Amino acid sequence: MLRHKLFLSDKILGIFSLSFALLGGCLKNPSAAVSSQDIPLNISGTIEDSLGQAAAGTEIFVEQETQPEQITGPDGSFSLSWSAERMEELRIRYAALGQPLRLYFIKAGTPGESAVYDKMKVLQVGNLDTGVIRLQKEVIISGQVSGPKAFGSGENLIEGALVHIGRFAALTDVDGRFALFAPAQSLLPVRISQKGYVQTKGSWNVGTIDESRDFRLYDRLSVEGSLGVPSSFRSDDPTVKTLTLAVSGNALSRWVRIGLSEDELLSSNKWISMDDKVEIPRDSAEPIQVLYQFADQDKQNLSPIYSLDL
């Protein structure tokens, strides 16, 4: 790169050549060492269907990629190798906000069987063994999308909104409704968008039965969001010790905090990421109302204080 003329004596050239040879001699296989840096992550495991049998023909996807990474063979096993360049592409596209990369395992059918692996770190290298992953029958998740009317007060049922839940997507109909199949017992990211509205994000803690949930879009970029009780919640089930709330908010909302009173809410600094589960304990003195508030990434801009009746 330098344009200056360099005059090296034969002695200096000899020393350089000797040093280079010694460096190569310290590596058992220099070319292999270089190529190993091009494959930083090797992922392997075995897929079983809901009956515990080898799930041959299961398609494996990463996030919302349209082409499967692999299709399992007769024994249900898989083995993936991602180069450094491939990992960087996936990080930029799907994990820029520090979230894990998700693998989706899908076996066709109506309903099909599927599962999600969400324990892969975006900077993970080396070998990752997922162990045995058991597919489950998919459940139907549905809901309705609304938002403020363009003119006047009141709500508007939004047609044509694109609803992404994990790697699964649907458009709302004329009544703002959507429905799609999703993996049971999985925590999936939610993203809803429509022209003229601010994108809404959140998460859906999918259970083992069909459930419904409504969403609201916002027409201005300020910190706003909502909490709700999933329709699959059964208040008479004594085994349920915690209640996982449904959380969503617009593009600025990144944190949420909850309290049983305004004093408790404002004195608490226990912010919960919107990408995590938002849970409250259940006991004999279960509250009939909780207060909650959203914050932006830096917790500087706050939403109004909202209330939720349980």
Residue 126 has pLDDT above 80, yes or no: yes
Domain-terminating residue out of 84, 104, 137: 137
Domain-terminating residue out of 94, 110, 137: 137
Residue 10 resides in a domain: no
Same structural domain for residues 48 and 168? no
Same structural domain for residues 126 and 182? no
Q: Which of 35-49, 72-86, 208-222 has the lowest mean pLDDT?
A: 35-49
Same structural domain for residues 145 and 132? no
Other CB atoms within a 10 A radius of the CB of residue 226 amount to 22
Integer Cα distance of 236 and 245 in angstroms: 17
Same structural domain for residues 75 and 219? no
What's the structural domain count of the chain?
A: 2
Give the pLDDT confidence score for residue 223 in this predicted structure. 93
Average pLDDT over residues 101-105: 94
Give the pLDDT confidence score for residue 96 in this predicted structure. 62
Beta carbons within 8 Å of 128's beta carbon, 6+ residues apart: 41, 42, 43, 44, 120
Residue 66 resides in a domain: yes
Contact by Cβ (8 Å): 135, 58: yes
First to last CA, the chain: 69
Banded model confidence at residue 235, pLDDT cuts 50, 70, 90: low
Same structural domain for residues 193 and 159? yes
Banded model confidence at residue 55, pLDDT cuts 50, 70, 90: very high
Return the higher-pLDDT residue of 13 and 146.
146
Same structural domain for residues 152 and 224? yes
Same structural domain for residues 127 and 266? no
Give the pLDDT confidence score for residue 238 in this predicted structure. 62
pLDDT in tens, 273-299: 887 888 887 765 566 788 999 999 999
Same structural domain for residues 117 and 182? no
Domain-terminating residue out of 137, 169, 185: 137
Residue 137 has pLDDT above 60, yes or no: yes
CATH code of the domain in which 197 resides: 2.60.40.1120
Contact by Cβ (8 Å): 9, 17: no
Sheet holding 255-259, edge to edge: 272-273, 255-259, 289-295, 306-309
Give the pLDDT confidence score for residue 232 in this predicted structure. 64
Residue 14 has pLDDT above 50, yes or no: no
Domain hosting residue 170, numbered range: 139-309
CATH code of the domain in which 91 resides: 2.60.40.10
